[in-house]
Copies of this chain bind each other. A is one copy, B any other.
Amino acid sequence: MSSGGSSAGDHGGSRGLFAELPDDLRAIEAVLFAAAEPMSVDDISEHVGAGIDVKAALAVLEAHYAGRGINLVARAKRWHFQTAADMAHLLRRERDESRKLSRAAVETLAIIAYHEPVSRAEIEAIRGVQISKGTLDVLMEAGWVRPAGRREVPGRPLTYATTADFLAHFGLESRRDLPGIDDLRAAGLLDPIDAAMEQLVLETGPEGD
């Protein structure tokens, strides 16, 4: 049947629109619907039992939910259902815009996401200003940024990286999905500036304009 042009009235007869699902898909559907948190394949297996090929089933469900009001998505290898993005206008709740991130916080978050792991000094070098005290705190409090170990250079600076919650919040399956990251990398804009300089000098030659 074609659903594109159908009005709400004539769905009644289209029993086939949603076929009965096999129980393994039903089980995964049920578990993911009930879950309060995104679930990894292992988490799901633990609930639905070992006999089910969860990965294959997820791929089927993902494809089938693609055109629906609810989508099945993977973020940082954890799966959850969420409402379709084009339904945002129906759902957007009045929310306090007071939690809007400062420009400094947005830039800092972007720098961490595109360069991680990255130290505070490196963030400051890119922005050309010192990071004020609260900026990293705000990002960590939001659950988007975490300390990611120390760099083994003099001073052993602490580095920062993004979290699975960051990917989930911004609808990214992995860091590879960061907008434009491939282009930026190809342009050398994610390299340390000295490395980038070397590349530029090689490309344009030492006497380059």
A interface, CB within 8 angstroms of B:
1-9, 11-12, 14-22, 24-31, 33-34, 46-49, 52-53, 56-57, 59-60, 63-65, 67-70, 81, 83-84, 87, 90-91, 93
Contacts and interface: CB of A to CB of B under 8 A. Distances in A.
Given A2-B16, A3-B17, A18-B18, 20 more contacts: A1-B3, A3-B19, A3-B20, A6-B19, A8-B19, A8-B25, A8-B53, A9-B53, A11-B21, A17-B60, A18-B65, A21-B68, A25-B69, A26-B67, A29-B69, A30-B70, A33-B81, A33-B83, A34-B91, A49-B90
Q: Which of A2, A18, A31, A49 has the most chain B CB atoms inside 10 A of its CB?
A: A18
Tallying the copies of this chain within the complex gives: 2
A137 to B, nearest CB: 27
A16 B3 contact: yes
